[in-house]
């Protein structure tokens, strides 16, 4: 008895539709011709002194006891937005919010945050709570970004965030392989480590 395909070739899908699919990431990514592996990753890290992070950490620790983070909107505004605004200071990255991308009928939708410098870019997918499905959506978005040929980089980076926790993904273009980092970075606890990685990625 043949297995029912995870994705219907005759149907149109947005990035958000992949979040709703009750399928394993390897099943969805194999449809697009990509392999999948989950393991601890050795991500780029900047060696620069990030002098303003302690101030940001203190501000977040001060306000978080008073903010309800039950909605995705609250997490975006009070946790993700402050991180992105601070990133501009260190990287001068251009940040596109709700960036529309159409590659094909099955690779289209909005990227929550698309960060781009002269040498590199980072896709950020913001979710409320479901990390596994959020990662799957992020991985499909990275495939779309690769096919859109924004750059000729052999490694593309993305991260899925629920605001107070971040997880990274790496797409290797030559191997057609997507790696999911098993490490999680918490905000504000791991803020310094998170910034070293993101700045390191965007510095190229």
Which tokens go with 189?
């606890």
Q: Residue 152 has what pLDDT?
A: 85
Per-residue CA distances from 116 to 5, 18, 119 (Å): 35, 24, 8
Q: Residue 1 has what pLDDT?
A: 40
CB 26 within 8 A of CB 6: no
CATH number attached to the domain at 15-203: 3.90.1570
Which residues in the chain show pLDDT less than 70?
A: 1-4
Q: Is the dihedral of CA 77, 78, 79, 81 positive or negative?
A: positive
Q: Residue 132 has what pLDDT?
A: 84
Q: Which residues of 159-192 are buried (b: 16+ CB within 10 A; e: fewer)?
A: bbbbbbbbbbbbbebeeeebbbbeeebebbebbe
Q: Residue 150 has what pLDDT?
A: 81
Q: Residue 3 has what pLDDT?
A: 58
CB 116 within 8 A of CB 94: yes
Q: Residue 2 has what pLDDT?
A: 43
pLDDT in tens, 84-121: 999 999 999 999 999 999 999 999 999 999 999 988 99
Q: Residue 129 has what pLDDT?
A: 72
The backbone torsions φ and ψ at residue 170, rounded to the nearest 5 degrees and listed phi first, read: -130, 130
């Amino acid at each position: 008895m043949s297995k029912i395909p995870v994705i219907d070739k005759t149907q149109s899908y947005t990035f958000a539709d992949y979040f709703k699919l009750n399928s394993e990431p390897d099943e969805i990514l194999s449809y697009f011709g990509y392999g999948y592996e989950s393991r601890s990753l050795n991500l780029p890290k900047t060696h620069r002194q990030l002098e303003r992070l302690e101030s940001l950490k203190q501000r977040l620790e001060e306000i978080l006891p008073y903010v309800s983070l039950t909605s995705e909107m609250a997490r975006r505004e009070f946790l993700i937005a402050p991180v992105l605004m601070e990133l501009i200071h260190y990287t001068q990255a251009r940040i596109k919010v709700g960036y529309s991308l159409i590659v094909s009928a099955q690779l289209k939708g909005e990227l929550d945050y698309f960060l781009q410098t002269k040498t590199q870019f980072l896709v950020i997918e913001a979710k409320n709570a479901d990390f596994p499905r959020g990662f799957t959506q992020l991985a499909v978005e990275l495939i779309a970004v690769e096919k859109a040929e924004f750059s000729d980089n052999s490694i593309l980076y993305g991260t899925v965030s629920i605001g107070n926790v971040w997880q990274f993904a790496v797409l290797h273009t030559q191997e057609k392989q997507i790696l999911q980092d098993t490490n999680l970075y918490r905000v504000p606890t791991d803020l310094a480590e998170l910034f070293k990685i993101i700045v390191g990625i965007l510095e190229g």
